[in-house]
Structure 1
Amino acid sequence: MDDKCDTRLYVGNLDKRITESNVIKMFTPFGKIMSEEFLWHTRGPKRGEPRGYVFIEYSTKEEAELAKAKMDGRLACGRPLVVRLASEKCLLETSNQLKPSCDGKKPSAAGCTSGMMNRSAKIAAIKNKLKSLEGEGVGIKKLRETDSSTSTHETVSSARKS
């Protein structure tokens, strides 16, 4: 499992004009591509349009690392590509207060097998989000009080007009 984790890349920030063929041409010089998953919107108003990212799997870890080093930040259709090991992707999107579990070392087994954060990291991310909301003066209790007082006021006002 660790082998696949080390050889699979996330490539993001793709312009919607970039096709699967373009991606393969851009990344073939760095090694043998074993698989490529170009993602599309399947529902809604953007159905059929590219989602803006792709997963590429190389045959070796060295090829994947070379492609990451050479292509991360490179401009494609005027946009800088974001290239990461796929196991790093979800860890980088979490709160800035969390540290990725890999810290530049070999990713943890949990990150490799599911591509997800471990349970304690998820809990920490939720707690940090709640703290930041409380810091902004937004609390669930306060939101409920605001909603109920507004709806009560509106009900009384509409009853008086009748």
Structure 2
Amino acid sequence: MFTSPTQAVYTTPVPVPEDPAGNIKDDCRLWIGNLDTRLTEYTLLKLLQKFGELKRFDFLLHKLGPEKGKPRGYCFVSYENRKDAEKAKRNMHGKLALSKKLVVKWAHAETESEQQEIRVPCSTTGVFSTGSTESQIRAIEDKLRKMEESSSDFTISTKPVAQPGSSQLYQINSAKQEKIKKPYSRKK
């Protein structure tokens, strides 16, 4: 994605959906998201088994609605030990699976080190900064203040540019419609 130096890029953390295992705290449990809908449960299971022995695997499907029976786009997996779970997380996060890059996170609450950063351009130089949260908030507020001050520079005209029905495309389509509207006559 291309962004200009004055355009802010916000990357927000992807929230982990509710775990079907309930309130069980498992430090070896991963959430794997952004799954391609063509990726089968069997294929994913075989891919995950490469990193260690699995304790639990939940491949979730829609229960209701027009998507009933189709994959939700994420799953949960528990490994026998933390070392295997870390290896799977490290090796699978960001890897391409069919047409989508996988997102792998811990299924339990994220720590601050796992959250993604917000990149905000400096108001004077336009260079992106990834400083403290307070400095990022100040930069965003500064940018919003400047946008409010310059809002009077931009006006939206409610007057039409041309008369309705005067464009060439409208005239061509009207001529086609006239040909269609002529009644059919049977010749003897």
Aligned equivalent of 1:127: none
Cα distance in 1, alignment partners of residues 106 and 87 from structure 2? 11
Contact 1:4/1:57 (8 A) holds in 2: no
Cα distance in 2, alignment partners of residues 49 and 13 from structure 1? 14
Cα distance in 2, alignment partners of residues 76 and 8 from structure 1? 20
Aligned equivalent of 2:84: 63
Cα distance in 2, alignment partners of residues 60 and 4 from structure 1? 14
Aligned equivalent of 2:26: 5
Give the unaligned 5+ runs of structure 1: 92-101, 106-134, 136-162
Distance 1:58 1:52, change over 3 A: same
Cα distance in 2, alignment partners of residues 60 and 25 from structure 1? 18
Aligned equivalent of 2:70: 49
The match for 1:103 among 103, 112, 134 is 112
Moved over 4 A (4+): none
TM-score, normalising length from structure 2?
Answer: 0.46
SS of corresponding position for 1:5: coil
Counterpart residue type for residue 79 of structure 2? Y
Contact 1:5/1:85 (8 A) holds in 2: no
Aligned equivalent of 1:32: 53
The equivalences for 1:64-83 within 5 A come to 64-83=85-104
Q: Deviations over 1:92-137 (max 9, x none)?
A: xxxxxxxxxx2249xxxxxxxxxxxxxxxxxxxxxxxxxxxxx9xx
The match for 2:108 among 83, 87, 90 is 87
Cα distance in 1, alignment partners of residues 97 and 38 from structure 2? 10
**Structure 1 residue 4, shift from structure 2 partner:** 4.7
Contact 2:25/2:108 (8 A) holds in 1: no
Cα distance in 2, alignment partners of residues 30 and 4 from structure 1? 21
State the percentage of identical aligned residues: 41
Give the unaligned 5+ runs of structure 2: 1-23, 115-143, 145-188
Q: Which has the larger radius of gyration?
A: 2
Cα distance in 2, alignment partners of residues 73 and 61 from structure 1? 20
Q: CA RMSD in A?
A: 1.9
Higher helix share: 1
Aligned equivalent of 1:15: 36
